[in-house]
Structure 1
Amino acid sequence: MKPIKFDREETKAIVGEIQDYFREELDQSIGAIPAEMLMQFFVDKMGAYFYNRGLYDAQALIRKQVENLTDEIFALEQPTRHLR
């Protein structure tokens, strides 16, 4: 798996979310550098779990869409004397 990378704008947004969380939920302040380090820790240690969950969700969605498509194609079938 290639490493999970965020561009500068994404990193800035995530760091802001971490800072907001610390301020609102923990009543503590955290600087941008420690927040970015915490973000990188989660990326390195837990990013694969979130990435894989996204893949599993995408697979389930595709599987459902294929089932629906198969049903729609089957509904187009014309009756014949030939039995399958």
Structure 2
Amino acid sequence: MSDIKFSRDELDRIVHKIKKYFNDELDQDIGAFEAEFLIDFFSKEVGMFFYNRGLFDAHMLFTEKADELSYLIQELEQPTI
């Protein structure tokens, strides 16, 4: 997995959410610079867990839909007798 790259807009929105969380839940102020360090840490150290879970969920959905499609195709079969 390559490094996660966010657009400036995405990064600004994530920083805002981190700062709001620290303020609302921990009653602490955190600067944008520190929030970006947290984002880097989580993306490098924890991001792969979320990424892998997303792949797993996508695979499960794909498998379910493929099974449904298989049944639908079988229902289209015409009797041969």
Structure 2: tracts of 5 or more residues without a match = none
Structure 2 residue 75 is the aligned partner of structure 1 residue 72: no
Instruction: Report the TM-score, using the length of structure 1 for normalisation.
Output: 0.92
Amino acid at match of 1:12: D
1:49 aligned partner: 49
Aligned residues: 81
Alpha-carbon distance between aligned partners in 1 of 2:72 and 2:24, rounded to the nearest angstrom: 50
1:21 aligned partner: 21
Structure 1: tracts of 5 or more residues without a match = none
Amino acid at match of 1:4: I
Instruction: Report the TM-score, using the length of structure 2 for normalisation.
Output: 0.95
Could you say what the CA RMSD is over the residues aligned between the two structures, in angstroms? 0.7
- CA deviation profile, 1:27-80 (whole Å, cap 9, x unmatched): 111110001111110001011111111000100010011011001101111111
Off by >3 Å, runs of 4+ in structure 1:
none
Alpha-carbon distance between aligned partners in 2 of 1:78 and 1:2, rounded to the nearest angstrom: 49
Alpha-carbon distance between aligned partners in 1 of 2:23 and 2:2, rounded to the nearest angstrom: 33
1:8 aligned partner: 8
Identical counterparts, % of pairs: 49
Secondary structure at the counterpart of residue 46 of structure 2 = helix
